[in-house]
Copies of this chain bind each other. A is one copy, B any other.
Amino acid sequence: MSDKHESLERASGKSVGLGDHAYTVLKEKLIRGSFRPGEKLTVRRVAQEFGLSSTPARDALNRLAIEHALVYAGPKTVIVPNLTLSQLREVTEMRLALEGLAAEKGATAISSDMIPALETIQNRINAALDRQAYAEALWANKEFHFFFYERSNMPILVATIEQLWLRIGATFNDLYPAFAISRSGVSNHCAAIEGLRHGDPHEVRAAIETDIRNGYRQLRHVLSERFLEK
């Protein structure tokens, strides 16, 4: 993945700077849920951790903040975002529109001989769930979704979707383990594969949309409970 990222950078013409490494690592940690929502990240800490001076470290944090992978809590403090209910709802509606489109486009470009690869990913999700390795299940789940999206031949769309996942990533990882991932996602994924077999992009789109909606309902449930606690 990081190599793909680099090649993307190169394609866009940007040479690899020192801070890019910090950016990549931080971004991956954010998606994987290595940071807790609300955690503060400072320039000097990043600089020391990666052995850089302040300029490239600040660049990395700035970039993440601009992409909303981090947010400003005060004039001088960037933290890992903590989604509100209304933000979660909004992101979900955008995901339905964007990922529905990407799934449908991607489905038209996926031939039947690529289905085994998808099933392999799904098996990894199931295995991870059995081991209660939720972080890994979430990661494989991302791979499953983007297997469709990345074949849509719409790089801008994929990048935009990735930004949405980045926004909700930390909260997602923080919330799900507590509640455990329901198996409802499994049947939606199977329905998507089934749609692929039928050569019906609409069916794939509907399955992915249902998957997003189901995930939303669970997340909303956990999130609203947590709000009540406070």
From known contacts A13-B73, A66-B63, A75-B15, infer whether A94 and B98 are also in contact, taking CB-CB under 8 Å. yes
- Given contacts A59-B62, A97-B97, A72 and B154 within 8 Å (CB-CB): no
Chain A 39-61 near chain B by CB (<8 Å), digits 1 or 0: 00000000000000001000100
Residue numbers in B under 8 Å from A15 (CB-CB)? 75-76
Chain B residue nearest to A94 (CB atoms) is B157
Q: Across the interface, do A75 and B13 meet the contact criterion of CB distance under 8 Å?
A: yes
Partner of A156, one of B13, B74, B91, B101: B91
Chain A interface residue number, banded: 20 to 34
**What does the 1/0 interface line of A198-217 toward B look like (CB < 8 Å)?**
00000000000000000000
Closest residue on chain B to residue A99 by CB atoms = B97
Interface assignment of A230: CB less than 8 Å from any CB of chain B? no
Instruction: Return the chain B residue nearest A100 by Cβ.
Output: B97
In the bound complex, how far is the Cα of B166 from the Cα of A129, in angstroms?
Answer: 42
Contact of A13 among B63, B67, B74, B98 (CB under 8 A): B74
Query: Once bound together, how far apart are the Cα atoms of A209 and B222, in whole Å?
Result: 36
Contacts of A98 in B (CB 8 A): 94, 97-98
- Say yes or no for A160: interface residue by CB 8 A criterion: yes
Q: How far is the CA of A94 from the CA of B154 in the complex (A)?
A: 10
A110-129 interface with B by 8 A CB criterion: none
Q: List B contacts of A67 (CB < 8 A).
A: 66
Any chain B CB within 8 A of the CB of A90? yes
CB A90 to nearest CB in B, in angstroms, measures 5
A12 proximal to B (CB < 8 A): yes
Kindly identify which residue among B12, B65, B93, B167 contacts A71, using a CB–CB cutoff of 8 Å.
Answer: B12
Smallest CB–CB gap between A110 and chain B, Å?
A: 18
| Nearest Cβ on chain B to A65's Cβ, whole angstroms | 8
| Interface membership of A226, Cβ < 8 A | no
A100 to B59, CA, bound (A): 35
